[in-house]
Amino acid sequence: MIYTVTLNPSIDYVVETDKLKIGEVNRSNKEELYPGGKGINVSLMLKELQVENTALGFLGGFIGEYIENALAFKGVNTEFIQLEEGFSRINLKIKDKAETEINGKGPHVSEDKLQLLYKKIEKLQDEDVLVLCGSIPKSLSNTLYEDIISKVAKKDAKVVVDATSNLLLNTLKYNPFLIKPNIHELEEIFEIKIDSIDDTIFYATKLKDMGAKNVLISMGKDGALLVDEEGKIHLSNAPKGDVVNTVGSGDSMVAGFVSGYLRTKDYKEALKLGSSCGSATAFSGGIGKKELIDTLKDEIEVKEICKINM
């Protein structure tokens, strides 16, 4: 079973308007509501690929109820822990010629609720997959992801981490199966500016040397790069299309990669499916649909470009 963890879920409330006028009454032209959070996006894409999975995390209040009901409607299994105080986030995204975001901070998570999550994590079995994605509530420690991984460290479970800065770096000592920073997060981690594919390879390889088994870098219109556990480097192109919304694109790539690898045990095929899933979501209003994923997959080529000296 694949388990996704979203520690700070949200409703993404997307509003389109002709021109946002600060300090005035604005009228929307279009409004949409989505259950949000990186792990939730992974769960939704996995379900689109007909891969059973279970979403874990914390939910609070009437917003939490909406999120859980929306996932149930999509057929996603959920085992969220209900918080007794506060409510899950509303993330407001206002679109005119640009995009303005106001993200909620999320509810307080008490120690006893955190322990309930740990108990769920400890029940994972060998061959299960645990996907840790996104930010954490301010009430929880920045060591949380490594604390969670430590609960399954002695099992043969695959751990996937998609997070920023120290949340990601602190997990590398546990040799996660896959990490997926995007190109901007890679720059942030190493405090550098990446100007070429050679730079991307160098710093992705560095993350592998620090402990990750596989390093997947999403690069937007430039495609994606994978340094696999054997030291092989794979590069995929990005298919052509109009980008509608990049929210959830990287999460969809994670879902496609995991699904593709579990089905084929082939990193080339995993990268190809991951790239098509990420692009399908970028070209759609929400999570990309399987029909579009299948179409885009035919446009994606994966090349092995060199090998690291191990």
Q: How many Cα atoms within 13 Å fall on the side-chain side of residue 291?
A: 1
C-alpha pair distances (Å), 255 with each of 39, 113, 166, 244: 9, 27, 23, 20
- State the virtual CA torsion across 17, 252, 9, 15 in degrees, nearest 10: 10
CB burial string 198-237: b at 16+ within 10 A, e below: ebbbebbeebbeeebbbbbbbbbeebbbbbbeeeebbbbb
Q: For residues 225 and 203, what is the distance between their CA atoms, to the nearest angstrom?
A: 11
Residues 6+ apart with CB under 8 A from 32: 13, 14, 285, 286
Residue from 147, 251, 294, 298 carrying the catalytic annotation? 251
Q: Exposed, middle or buried: residue 191 (CB in 10 Å: 0-12, 13-18, 19+)?
A: exposed
User: Which residue is associated with the tokens 């520690």?
Assistant: 7
User: Which residue is associated with the tokens 């700070």?
Assistant: 8
- For residues 53 and 43, is the Cβ–Cβ distance under 8 A? yes
Angle separating helix axes 61-74 and 38-48, nearest 10 degrees: 20
| Catalytic residue list contains 251 | yes
Helices (H), the chain: 38-48, 61-74, 111-122, 144-150, 165-169, 183-190, 197-209, 249-264, 267-282, 290-297
- For residues 39 and 134, is the Cβ–Cβ distance under 8 A? yes
Which residues carry out catalysis?
251
